[in-house]
Amino acid sequence: MPAKIINGFEIAKRKRVEIALEVEQLKEKGVTPGLAVILVGDNHASRTYVSNKQKACQEAGMYSLLVELPESVPEAELLEKIRMLNTDDSIHGILVQLPLPGHIDETKVIDTIAPAKDVDGFHPINIGKMMTGQDAFLPCTPYGVMVLLEDSGIDIPGKNVVIVGRSNIVGKPSGQLFLNKDATVTYCHSKTKNLKEHTSKADILVAAVGKANFITAEHVKDGAVVIDVGINRNEAGKLCGDVAFDEVAEKAGYITPVPKGVGPMTITMLLANTLKAAKSGK
């Protein structure tokens, strides 16, 4: 039987309505959640991501501030801008769109964002809190994956979860969130030997590799839940994930499509984190 499709687009839409309602209630108490997005340079993809985030913010009734800085901006000037936003009461969340130009140290930039405004969940304080199971801003994509599973009624405790990919923004935090929910977690990466041996044992398989059609039916156990985080272009230039959707959907129990799977959840969780930041001051 073909897999059930986890429709991230519909789930995200529903969550955004809930967020907008809460924003409205908060505004009645005199607080408008505010998100500042810093865009350095003129990278086309970054500009698209930023404008999508701004649009979502406005649709949720939040205040959205775009800070545009030239590609050549000195690192010190960017850090100063972040410090100003850290103390700006109209701003509850700060996001610096990555990647940054080569002369700027991304680690320093992330470390400068006040942890209480780090709605991307990349600051070491938030990562440490997440690791130790404390309340934290969770990184948006892994957080979105967990909400997709929860919303789809998929149980996590005791499950074998295999994450393919170990980046700091997707793979590693995803595994940690599953561990926090009592899963048994395996991380795979480019040095993993016999990848299939690992992935075929997964009750829940998360692909965060960045390679089109990388996960095929032979990697997947019958009835597994397959979460495709990848966003790639195939040879025909069409948007696709890391999972060979058609063949894997024949074997899996659940699957997320690309587009309309994990992608829409990432911005939704950014809104959720911004709302949480705004509420925490109240």
Q: Does 200 bind ligand NDP (CB under 6 A)?
A: no
* Strand pairing class (239-240; 232-233): antiparallel
**263-280 and 140-151 are packed helices; what angle lies between their axes, rounded to 10 degrees?**
100
The count of residues interacting with ligand NDP (CB under 6 A) is 24
Q: Does 266 bind ligand NDP (CB under 6 A)?
A: yes
- Write down the number of H helices and E strands in the chain: 10, 11
Q: Does 43 bind ligand NDP (CB under 6 A)?
A: no
Q: Does 204 bind ligand NDP (CB under 6 A)?
A: no
The percent helix, strand, coil of the chain (3-state, each to 5) is 45, 15, 40
Q: Does 186 bind ligand NDP (CB under 6 A)?
A: no
The first and second tokens of residue 79, run together, are 């850090």
The secondary structure of residue 138, as a DSSP letter, is P
71 contacts 100 by C-beta, under 8 angstroms: no
The first and second tokens of residue 90, run together, are 């109209």
97 tagged catalytic:
yes
177 contacts 197 by C-beta, under 8 angstroms: no
Among candidate residues 53, 81, 117, 276, the one labeled active-site is 53
Q: Does 164 bind ligand NDP (CB under 6 A)?
A: yes
Q: Does 244 bind ligand NDP (CB under 6 A)?
A: no
Q: How many CB atoms lie within 10 A of CB 196?
A: 13
Residue 105 CB, nearest distance to ligand NDP (Å)? 18
228 contacts 262 by C-beta, under 8 angstroms: yes
Among candidate residues 15, 81, 97, 176, the one labeled active-site is 97
Q: Which of 231, 243, 275, 278 binds ligand NDP (CB under 6 A)?
A: 231
Q: Does 39 bind ligand NDP (CB under 6 A)?
A: no
Q: For residues 100 and 208, which CB has a smaller minimum distance to ligand NDP in the complex?
A: 208
Compute the Cα dihedral for 60, 84, 81, 86 and give only its sign: negative
Q: Does 104 bind ligand NDP (CB under 6 A)?
A: no
Rounded CA-CA distance 258/234 in Å is 12
Residue 262 CB, nearest distance to ligand NDP (Å)? 4
User: 108 to 127, contacts with ligand NDP by CB under 6 A?
Assistant: none
Q: For residues 62 and 209, which CB has a smaller minimum distance to ligand NDP in the complex?
A: 209
Q: Which of 189, 196, 233, 238 binds ligand NDP (CB under 6 A)?
A: 189
Among candidate residues 117, 118, 120, 242, the one labeled active-site is 120
25 tagged catalytic:
no
Radius of gyration in angstroms for the set of CA atoms belonging to the chain, rounded to a whole number:
19
Residue 215 CB, nearest distance to ligand NDP (Å)? 10
Residue 137 CB, nearest distance to ligand NDP (Å)? 16
CA triple 31-33-38, angle to 5 deg: 140
53 tagged catalytic:
yes
CB within 8 A of 83, min separation 6: which ones? 112
Catalytic residues: 53, 97, 120
Residues that bind ligand NDP (CB under 6 A): 141, 164-167, 169-171, 188-192, 195, 208-210, 229-232, 262-263, 266
